Each structure stands twice: as structure tokens, then as C-alpha cells.
Amino acid sequence: MDRWIAPGRVNLIGEHTDYNAGFVLPIALSLGVVCAAERTGDGLVRLRSAQRPGEPVEVAVGELAARRATVPRWARYPLGVVHEFVRGGHPVDGLRLAIDGAVPLGAGLSSSAALCCAVTVALRDLCAPTLTPDDLVGIAWAAENGFAGVPTGVLDQSASIRCTAGHALFLDVRAYTAPGGPEPGAAEQIPFDPAAAGLALLVADTGHPHDLADGGYAERRAQCEAAARALDVAALRDVTDTDLPRLADPVLRRRATHVVTENARVVAAADLLRSGADPRTLGALLSASHRSLRTEFEVSAPALDLAVDAALDAGAHGARMVGGGFGGSVLALVDRADTAAVTARIERRFAAAGHARPRIFTVEPAAGARRLR
Ligand code: GLA
């Protein structure tokens, strides 16, 4: 069988801005989900995963929707993608799919989007070669939000499909998701080479899982929508500092404050990378993002704060939680020479707090989803 890979992502900055029509700046990881796939012509979807050896799934193409509730939760992501191709009228006449994922689960590094995107690029090549990368983002997003039933913005899927090695992807989500298709300039590849500047991006997976299907994420989205309604705008993207005092509800005001300031930080970070300035200056924006996520948006968690504080104490230029929050991973920008010291400090603090050892590794801006040759 031929094989395709789609990466997980880490968002440099721009958290909880995507579903507010704002800005994000992710990179793809070299860790990805691999999907081996072939057409079989027998009308069945046969699916297995190396991570779930005891749970192979077999469903008739025509019965995907009817069988949704009966298949294991992990299988709804790949089957959701197949369902979207069927809905789109593409010739899906039977498939064998074998999944093998290397993105840690529940780490806030988009393992589920990587899974959907790996199946999506495979099915593009097998059944629908004329689809554009932006079509693929839409399909993977629809599979996750529809069939899998997990609410997300477009950050994860666009990062997995559109990111390129050596670049951060600056996305203006409103322009990217415009009804007539992405507007010019909505997605921009900005060169970013931390290693060349003597820097490393350190990811610390705290091991405290985050789960988008939990209520916290949906509640934040609802609060953002309520704040936008109260201010009579289409999305919090349209709000500026001076509008914030008009929000009487203190919770909604805090949520909106995060989104407004976070959008400004993403724009500042993108300007900084474009200008060729020393990327160490990104650090202050990362740390400010974390403070805002902790105090205004209230999606951090004690283990995330501990990892951020330990990294900063050990000399990181900046650090913040990444992804939806409530658990998952922290990103720290460190001098390469300090990588071991920052790692050791985080591990020591976790041990002292009685937490299991976190998984800490460096990442570099890697390539997006593709066929493996
Ligand atoms: C999750 C969602 C994304 C985004 C982030 C927070 O990863 O899938 O769409 O909202 O949380 O920035």
C-alpha cells in the first residue's frame, strides 16, 4: 500500500483566535500520523490502527452515517474523512486504511487533525486528484467537527496541510475562510529558522491530557460568541481595546481581552519574523500570551504554569501553553546552549511537585501533509 503522512503542529502564537476570525502562526512538527491506503472496489472501508490493535473496523461505504455511533471514538476521525469524500460525490468504492500515529495523544499537538489530514491527502490522491490544499483543509475540518463531533477552528487542519519546512504559517482566518474561498494573502509562509539564530524550540508535554471534547473548549467558544453579540460585531476579530469597557459582564470582558490582545501579539510576531529581527524578541510575546491565557481566558492548568515558570527561571526567552489548554504541552524558546538546563529544570520541578516526568523534545518548522515516496 502507498503511504501518506500528515504532521501535528505547534502554534507559535495565536491561541483561541481562530474561531474568532483572527490570526494564528503555527509550525508543523516532524512527528506525524502515517496512513497506508489503497482502493479495494468492494464497497467496504476496512480500517485499523497500530495504536488500537484490538479495534479493527469494517463498515460499508453506504452505511457510514448509520454506523457512526457504533464505531470506537478514534475511528470517527478517519471515517469522518471518508464520509466527507462520499458527500462530496467523489468515487469511494472501497478502501483499506492502516493508521500509525507518532503524535502524542492529548498533548495539545493536534494528533486528531494529523489523523484526519493523513487520511484526507491519501483519499485526494486515490479518489479526487483535483482537490486543492484549501479544499483538503475544509474536508479535514468538516470530518472533525461533523462526524467526529469535536468542535475546532481551522488552526490545526490548516497547519497540518499548509505548513512548509523552514517556515511559520501566518493565517488570517477570516480571509482564509471567506465564503468565496481564501482571499489573496490570507495564508503566508514566513521564513523561520530558530537553529540558524542559535535557538531551539522546546516542547514539554506535561502528560496532563487535554481533551477538546470536554466542555471547557465549547464553553470558551460560546463566551466569545456572546461577547461579540454584546458588542454587535460579527466576531471578536472586529473588537479593539476601546470597545472592551462596553462589556458589562466581567467574564466576557476577560475573554474578549485575551482575544484582542492575542491577535495583536500574532500580528507583532509575524512582523518580527518578516523583518528579520532577532527571533529572541519573540520570547516576550510568548510569555505575554501565556499570562493572558492563564488570567483572562482561564484555560491554563497548574502543570502548564509550572512548566512555563520553570522554563523562564532557567533562562528561556519566553514560554507558553499551546493548543486548547486545560492540559497538554508548553512551548519554550531557548538558546540552544541552554536546552539541557531548561529541560532539567522542568523535570526537577515536576518531580518536586509529585508529577510524572514530562516528555520534553525540540521541534523545528517541518513540512506539511504529503505522500511518502
Ligand atoms: C484547539 C482547536 C483549534 C484552536 C486551538 C486553540 O487546538 O482545535 O482550532 O482553537 O485549540 O487555539
Query: pLDDT class for 327, splitting at 50, 70, 90?
Result: very high
Domain 2-192 has CATH 2.40.50.100: no
How many angstroms does the Cα of residue 151 sit away from the middle of ligand 1? 9
What are the grid coordinates assigned to 48, written together?
Answer: 485499523
Mutate-to-test residue for ligand 1 from 152, 236, 322, 326, highest number of ligand atoms within 8 A of CB? 152
At residue 210's C-alpha, the angle toward residues 50 and 215, to 5°, is: 120
18 lines ligand 1 (CB under 6 A): yes
In the annotation, is 156 catalytic? yes
**pLDDT score of 61:** 98
> Average of pLDDT values for 134-159?
97
The residue extents of the domains of the chain are 2-192, 194-363
Ligand 1 site, residue 328, Cβ cutoff 6 A: no
Say whether 194-363 and 2-192 share the same fold. no
> Is 22 a pocket residue for ligand 1 (Cβ < 6 Å)?
no
331 lines ligand 1 (CB under 6 A): no
Strands (E), the chain: 2-11, 23-24, 26-39, 44-49, 57-60, 95-101, 167-172, 187-191, 199-205, 318-321, 329-335, 359-363, 370-372
Query: In this structure, how many other beta carbons lie within 10 angstroms of the beta carbon of residue 205?
Result: 20
Grade residue 353 by pLDDT with cuts at 50, 70 and 90: very high
From residue 124, alpha-carbon distances to 97, 210, 327, 367, 371 in Å are: 14, 30, 33, 18, 10
Return the SS3 of 100.
strand
Query: Does the pLDDT value for residue 213 go beyond 70?
Result: no
d(CA 4, CA 18): 27
19 CB within 6 A, ligand 1: yes
| Nearest alpha carbon to residue 32 among 127, 217, 159, 185 | 159
The residue type of 97 is L
Q: What is the CA(24)–ligand 1 centre distance, in A? A: 10
Distance 337 CA to ligand 1 centre (A): 31
| Fold annotation for 194-363 | Alpha-Beta Plaits (3.30.70)
Phi, psi of 365 (to 5 degrees): -60, 115
Mean of the pLDDT values across residues 206-223? 85
Supply the pLDDT for residue 234: 98
Going by alpha carbons, the residue nearest to atom 9 of ligand 1 is: 153
How far does residue 216's CA lie from ligand 1's centre (Å)?
A: 12
Rounded to an integer, the average pLDDT of 300-319 is: 98
Say whether pLDDT at 98 is over 70.
Answer: yes
CA–CA distance from 323 to each of 73, 148, 282 (Å)?
21, 19, 18
Task: For ligand 1, atom 8, name the residue with the nearest CA.
Answer: 152
CA atoms within 13 A on the CB side of 227: 31
**Overall residue count recorded for the chain in this entry:** 373
The answer, yes or no, to whether any atom of ligand 1 lies below 6 A from the CB of 84, is no
- Ligand 1 close to Cβ of residue 64 (< 6 A): no
- Name the catalytic one among 2, 125, 156, 172: 156
User: For ligand 1, what atom is nearest to the CA of residue 153?
Assistant: 9
Q: What pTM does this model have?
A: 0.96
Q: What is the pLDDT of residues 264-306, one digit of tens each?
A: 999 999 999 999 999 999 999 999 999 999 999 999 999 999 9
